[in-house]
């Protein structure tokens, strides 16, 4: 019996559609690494595409963690925050940026209301207006994340004798839905 064959050109389907996407907006590279570096590293290792919008002259600490950098000079904030490809994504934002930037605050609130977008906030700042919709969660860093976060902190010029085993974030309702989430809800 003969089986007809077909030639497949172009390899796999569009890689962008097949990968989870996490967009990060932060005050600085140090802010990202110190507050969420281990979580973001673990996401990259799990196959996520993690992009950080930055104007940092030295993106080396972010690259050490496997994070893509998007230059603020070549991409506008509104362009970065508005998904154009129709795929789902997650959004992580520094509380400092959330507090000081009205456009970021508006996009975060829209994403929280959407309930399908994972939203995470970290750091010290006033997150008025979203606190009631957010839950405190923790991410337990993998051993590799702790090592690479230490290297990234050193590259950023931050002295750190010990990398804490957990990072605490505020997350929206969509984050707490999955049973297999890498974030643990705190009481």
Domains, the chain, in order of start with CATH, read: 16-185 (3.40.50.10320)
At 10, give phi and psi (nearest 5°): 90, 5
Residue 36 has pLDDT above 90, yes or no: yes
Query: Would you state the pLDDT for residue 142?
Result: 97
Query: Would you state the pLDDT for residue 132?
Result: 66
pTM of the model: 0.82
Which element (helix H / strand E) includes 135?
strand 135-140
CA distances from 169 to 13, 114, 118 (A): 34, 19, 12
- pLDDT tens per residue, range 70-117: 887 777 776 776 665 555 678 999 999 888 888 888 888 888 877 778
Q: Which residue has the tokens 């590259």?
A: 155
Highest mean pLDDT among 7-11, 35-39, 88-92: 35-39
| More confidently predicted of 115 and 157 | 157
Query: Looking at residues 53-59, what average pLDDT do you find?
Result: 83
Instruction: Tell me the pLDDT band of 179, cut-offs 50, 70 and 90.
Output: very low
């Amino acid at each position: 019996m003969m089986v007809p064959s077909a030639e497949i050109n172009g390899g796999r389907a569009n890689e962008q559609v097949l990968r989870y996407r996490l967009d990060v907006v932060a005050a600085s590279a140090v802010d990202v690494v110190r507050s969420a570096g281990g979580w973001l590293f673990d996401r990259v290792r799990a196959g996520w595409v993690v992009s950080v919008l930055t104007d940092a002259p030295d993106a080396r600490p972010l690259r050490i963690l496997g994070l893509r950098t998007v230059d603020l000079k070549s991409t506008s904030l509104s362009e970065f925050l508005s998904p154009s490809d129709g795929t789902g994504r997650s959004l992580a934002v520094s509380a400092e940026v959330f507090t000081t930037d009205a456009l970021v605050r508006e996009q975060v609130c829209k994403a929280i209301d959407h309930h399908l977008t994972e939203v995470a906030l970290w750091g010290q700042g006033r997150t008025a207006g979203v606190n009631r919709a957010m839950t405190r969660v923790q991410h337990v860093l993998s051993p590799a994340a702790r090592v690479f976060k230490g290297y990234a902190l050193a590259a950023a010029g931050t002295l750190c004798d010990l990398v804490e085993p957990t990072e605490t974030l505020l997350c929206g309702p969509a984050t707490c839905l999955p049973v297999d989430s890498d974030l643990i809800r705190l009481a």
